[in-house]
Structure 1
Amino acid sequence: MKAPAARSLVLDSQGLSLLLRNDRQMITRIEAARRVGVPVLVSALTVVEAVHGKTDTARLHWVLSRLQVQDVTHADSLTAVRLLSEAGGLHGHKYAIDALVAAMALRVPGPVLVLTSDRDDWTKLCGGRVQIKDV
């Protein structure tokens, strides 16, 4: 059975990094989502995780202007704690950002498609509650 069409597209840090580097495949994916009215979401934490000293600041601002940057909420922090616990007691130090981004992905309209380079982490944290596509 085919997975239902996504109502939200979430980028992890690798997805955002690819956009910042003007990766053609990532740009094509984002534009395809936009054409069918699927919002492209990124956590404010993902922005911090993806940016480095060589990031072009003007490009960063332009890319972010075309995405929906989601704030981290108190509820997200509690959901992240629960996700870490349910995933077998993963430690917040190593998985904190992934868990908080996963919490955000679970609160936005679903079905949610996550573009990530960390399939294993997302599977541990969300199980089958999100669709995962490798980048």
Structure 2
Amino acid sequence: MAKAKEAGALPDTTVGYKRPPVQSQFKPGQSGNPSGRPKGSQNLKTLFHKIMREEVQLREGEDVRKITKAEAIMRGLVIGALKGDTRSTGTLLRLAEQMGQFEEEERTEITSIQRVIISPQPEDDFPAISDFNKEK
């Protein structure tokens, strides 16, 4: 091969493992997937979060305020559960369980026990104690 390069022959056109034919290789600047995912498209999770953060108007009596769609859904579930709707109750309890609302908080365990003996300062106030200490 070294002789072929020196003589000004055509470049090496060997085809094999990791050496595709030159005519089928991507040209510089050419995409490997021209009809692929368009720029700026969002996946389902991102789209869901974007929609749930959108605000809607909620009317409570005379007041109108804006809340997120997620909060509106949760309020609807709670109101449905309070009215006795079993499906709303089940959904609400399942959500609460998934969020860990029914787990007990970790209690701090006792790591050491200390014994404190308190003795009266003046032995004159308790003559029985002073008599007991003298006998020893």
Specify if TM > 0.5. Answer: no
More strand by percentage: 1
More helix by percentage: 1
Greater C-alpha Rg: 2
Q: Which structure has more RCO (C-alpha within 8 Å, separation ≥ 6)?
A: 1
